[in-house]
Amino acid sequence: MNFIFEIFRKSLRQENLSQRGERMLPAALYGALAASAFVLANSLVNVYSFPNLPLGLDWAHVFGMCAGFGAAFALAGAIAGWFTEEYQGIVVGGMIITALLAVAFFFQMGAEGGALTLQSILMALPLVGVSMLAAGALRWTARRHGQIIHKESAEARPRRLAGHILVIALAGAFVGILGRLDLPAEQTLVKFHAYLQAAPNDPSVWVQLPVKQVPALPEHFGVDYRFYARRSAFALGALDLTVRFADGFVLECALPVGSMNFFTNCWEGQ
């Protein structure tokens, strides 16, 4: 950690804040843009890819995610852009981003005890390489921005800048699309949807549903509903599933993908 502070001190003598700002501000803005495109694409791809499923879109959650991811990537861009030397921005910036990820994992898991501290670090460490790639990409966005502003002609500048912005937005959206649910996840949701559809007229399927864990569930069979599903952040091969019924009832479950016995943990949501 001391060598990082030493690099910061040396970097302070290399450039003034105005010079750093020419990298930090564009890198932060492009980081927020890419993150927002990622969240939007990741949220929309499943809804429109699986028209046979009653997948819903919680816009409040989407906008909240855009704000959160956008702020996080803006901070990452500012960190990566701080350093004068390219390798310092990539390597040290990537390490700092990884450390911030560990802190985020720690608080996301409840911020309790040394075991969670170790777990959050272990979750973040494999992302060092990804963080460095992200830092390098964010520095490139700022460097290309500077080249367009300072080297392109006044006539070509708006077109080049618009193309640069479009490339970054498309890159973020492409990564978001890669988060599309795979075939086993789709099949699991299709099966669960079929059981819910059959439940009002076929009590034999109730054994496949979390009736024992949530006794109030049968009261809402036959009511329209929407699925809100995402990959679990803490359970490998599982989905975090929220089912919102039209009458206001909410069912939340950890849904193991590909398992014949659907539910290991279900509860009535808010």
Q: Model confidence over 57-98: pLDDT tens digits?
A: 989 989 988 998 899 889 999 989 988 888 888 888 888 888
Q: Which of 145, 177, 209 is the last residue of a domain?
A: 177
For residues 173 and 194, state if they share a domain. Answer: no
For residues 70 and 196, state if they share a domain. Answer: no
Write down the residue that tokens 């079929």 correspond to. 194
For residues 195 and 113, state if they share a domain. Answer: no
Residue 28: how many other CB atoms lie within 10 Å:
25
User: Based on the number of CB atoms within 10 Å of its own CB, is 104 exposed (0-12), middle (13-18) or buried (19 or more)?
Assistant: middle
For residues 133 and 245, state if they share a domain. Answer: no
Q: pLDDT tens for residues 171-215? A: 999 999 998 998 888 988 999 999 999 999 999 999 889 998 999
Q: Which of 148, 177, 206 is the last residue of a domain?
A: 177
- Given pLDDT bands bounded at 50, 70 and 90, which one contains residue 124? low
Task: Tell me how many domains the chain contains.
Answer: 2
For residues 142 and 45, state if they share a domain. Answer: yes
- Residue (of 139, 161, 135) closest to 150 by Cα position: 161
For residues 173 and 254, state if they share a domain. Answer: no
Adjacent-strand bridge partners of 66 = none
Residue 112 sits at φ, ψ, to 5 deg, of -135, 120
For residues 49 and 131, state if they share a domain. Answer: yes
- Indicate whether 111 pLDDT > 50: no
CB environment 235-245: b (16+ within 10 A), e (fewer)? eeebbbbbbbb
For residues 11 and 93, state if they share a domain. Answer: yes
Quote the tokens at residue 54.
């009653």
- Residue (of 128, 142, 132, 141) closest to 90 by Cα position: 132
**Chain centroid, CA 195 distance in Å:** 30
Q: Which of 141, 160, 177 is the last residue of a domain?
A: 177
For residues 155 and 253, state if they share a domain. Answer: no
For residues 14 and 108, state if they share a domain. Answer: yes
pTM of the model: 0.82
- Given pLDDT bands bounded at 50, 70 and 90, which one contains residue 269? confident
Residues spanned by the domain of 253: 183-268
Percent of the chain with pLDDT over 90: 47
For residues 142 and 210, state if they share a domain. Answer: no
- Indicate whether 113 pLDDT > 80: no
For residues 191 and 160, state if they share a domain. Answer: no
